[in-house]
Structure 1
């Protein structure tokens, strides 16, 4: 094993090996992170935000996000299965990197809601979602060669993150003078 090879904690590999845990982890984190959002979207701060064209009704988000969390969780399961069956060192290295990126994007995803809705820092949230989107696109592209099923499972997430980044950027831009960001 080369010294540059990514080492993932065993608990992260084990979590992704069990489909129920692999799917439950992002669902649980998403629920925990997003729970305070319900009050914020009723607040004057949120209602008075200027938004870019194309913002869907708020009722869409609690439908879309759980589906995306299920998809991304199952993609992590498919990735670790591909890792367990990979013969070449190159494929193993790419798949370990993809799993590392998966957990990185999961952390970035978890932080976005408290930044945007909790702290009301739309500019910092924009930096976060930009990093999240780039990480997810890179991970999805990396998986295309070694775990195409996982890559396909992540495509809707990539599209939604692109749209969410557009919304975040538009909200930041249209409200920056009022917020001092």
Structure 2
């Protein structure tokens, strides 16, 4: 296999998650000034400028990790099949968070998505590790960031929980009883 062919596969794997990140960045920008900046935040919230480079590096890492697993695990028909399904699932959950949190302004639903994302990403990292150790290790900072993002989402929710969210919680609680 030629090195240029391999390079294109790596580049494609890295660009895929970043494409979703770019689209979500456009969604986020629309809501920063008219909604997000007016929320109450915990003291440990990083400055807004941190998020774009953080996500770009995490997306690039996870994309490269997916390439390693695809390459070493026999592609979609080999041992890599389940890990790549987990990868696609966590990527879909990742991309869903921005439209939920920023687009629909549903902080609680965003938190639920983040918790599912963190669990799925953790599983993905373990499955990747079984195929390629480096790919598994690449998921450690990603899962750590998702854990922090979950805490941040929870804190923002708690600091801004409005009557609408309280009613949604009460309605969901009554349905369970």
Q: Tell me the TM-score range normalised by the shorter chain.
A: 0.7 to 0.9
| Correspondence 1:92-103 to 2 at 5 A | 92=79, 95-103=80-88
Output the CA distance in 1 between the equivalents of 2:128 and 2:29: 34
Output the CA distance in 2 between the equivalents of 1:99 and 1:147: 12
What is the CA-CA distance between 1:164 and the residue it aligns to? 0.6
* Matched residue, 1:109: 94
Q: Aligned residues, how many? A: 157
Q: Deviations over 1:86-141 (max 9, x none)?
A: xxxxx82xx32111010001111111001001110001111101100000001112
What is the CA-CA distance between 1:33 and the residue it aligns to? 1.9
TM-score, scaled to structure 2 = 0.83
* Matched residue, 2:170: none
Structure having the higher helix fraction is: 2
Query: Which contiguous aligned blocks of 4+ residues in structure 1 show a shift greater than 4 angstroms?
Result: none
List runs of 5+ in structure 1 lacking aligned partners: 1-16, 86-90
Q: Does 1:37 align with 2:28?
A: yes
Secondary structure (helix, strand or coil) at the match of 1:53 reads coil
Q: Does 1:141 align with 2:126?
A: yes
User: What RMSD over aligned residues (CA atoms) do the two structures have, in Å?
Assistant: 1.7
What is the CA-CA distance between 1:178 and the residue it aligns to? 4.7
CA 1:110–1:52 in structure 2 vs 1: closer, same or farther (change >3 Å)? same
* Matched residue, 1:62: 52
List runs of 5+ in structure 2 lacking aligned partners: 1-7, 167-177
Q: Relative to structure 2, which stretch is displaced further, 49-58 or 59-68?
A: 49-58
